[in-house]
Amino acid sequence: MKTVLKETRERMHKSLEAFEHNIAMIRTGRANPGILNRVTVNYYGATVPINQLATVSSPDPRTLHVSPFDKSAVGAIEKAIRDSDLGFNPTNKGDSIFITVPMLNDERRRELVKTARHLAEEARVAVRNIRRDANDELKELEKEGLLSEDELRQGESEVQKLTDEFVQLIDARLKGKEGDILEV
């Protein structure tokens, strides 16, 4: 039973991490270097994530600064940012790139909140699916005679506690992200 609970916790934690990674990609009104993580650059015939070619920083709340390790990649990085679906217009300063993050309008903020809520619901569904798998595994152990009925009930209770814990964590991360998105 302990191994089932341990595996369940690990799988739920991975679902939480995936959710956190996904909502980090959602743009807020502030300049967040993580927003460029999904941008890939065609660099000498290979598709490479921008964070492997450059350092991305935020010198102020409205600006991103991209400083390539290889100065010859500036043009390719600029093109990749411009072609991405982020809607940014990068400014090439020769050896680095500056991006002014535009303010979000109310309609776009509502769309982003809706996207964040959708991602949160997907994460909750994943956690509930993991709960179902764990309960099925516990029932199988009971059928094989490795768990008593009382141990089965206790195990299901522990799995439910884990589920509740991870759903609360997802909801807390969602609330924080909604606050960031709606902040003017």
Structure-block tokens of residue 103: 């303010």
Residue 87 reports pLDDT greater than 80:
no
> Among 54, 78, 100, where does a domain finish?
100
Q: What is the pLDDT averaged over residues 43-52?
A: 90
Which residues are CB-contacts of 20 (< 8 A; sequence separation ≥ 6)?
Answer: 173
Q: What is the DSSP letter of 176?
A: H
Residues 49, 73: one domain?
A: yes
Residue 170 reports pLDDT greater than 90:
yes
| Residue 153 lies in domain | 2-24+105-182
The pLDDT of residue 57 is: 92
Which residues are CB-contacts of 41 (< 8 A; sequence separation ≥ 6)?
Answer: 47, 48, 49, 50, 53, 73, 76, 77, 79, 80
Instruction: Report the domain count for the chain.
Output: 2
- pTM for the model stands at 0.74
